[in-house]
Amino acid sequence: MSYSIIIVFFITRSKFVELQHTSSSGGLFLNVGYVKSVSGILKLLQLILGAVAVGLVGYYYTNSDCGIFYALYTADTFFLVISVTFLIGTFLIYLSCIISMSTASLVSETVYEIVYHGFACILYLAASICFSVKTFDRFDNPLCSINGCYKAAAIIGFFITVLYLLSALYPKRSQVRGLIGR
């Protein structure tokens, strides 16, 4: 079975690529301009670092070679819950901005992104501080592999906090006018 792919470029605020199979009824729009924008790059970095942090903490959450079951610590759980929550939320925002022509411009015109990234910054900061204090305090065994991985995850958490802060402080003028009330 053969099918063709039609690629069309739309020149508006940003570039869109339409991929359409001749056998299907609709097309899939990819917002290439959003991926190259500052907001798109920040969200992509948040996704990549968030996935690394979730992977590190999630693996060692129950798999430890130190002989102690560490999943009972609330700092690990708090950091993991915050990381997974904002990883999923940021992925959904990023995906919707990529596949929809209007979402990238509509979401960026509202106060939603400022509020979302502000809360993400605050909660990630709290989780990273709590997690790093407990991590640097309780692991003294240099032979324990969880030591370095948890410390790396805590440092990545602080980097993600800075990325969410930058996303919250990088609003458009209409967002700032909406917050101030003109």
What is the reported pLDDT for 138? 67
164: number of CA atoms within 13 Å, CB side? 26
What is the reported pLDDT for 172? 59
What is the reported pLDDT for 24? 46
What is the reported pLDDT for 179? 54
Instruction: Write the pLDDT tens digit of every residue in 72-110.
Output: 578 888 999 999 999 999 999 999 889 887 777 777 777
Cβ contacts of 178 within 8 Å, gap of 6 or more = 110, 111
Domain ranges across the chain: 1-32, 37-180
Dist. CA 102–CA 108, nearest whole Å: 10
Which segments in the chain show pLDDT lower than 50?
Answer: 1-25, 71, 173-174, 182
What is the reported pLDDT for 67? 52
- The b/e string for 83-110 (b: 16+ C-beta within 10 A; e otherwise) is bbebbeebeebbeebbebbebbbebbee
Q: Are 82 and 146 in contact (CB under 8 A)?
A: no
Q: Where are the beta strands (DSSP E) in the chain?
A: 5-11, 15-21, 28-31
What is the reported pLDDT for 65? 58
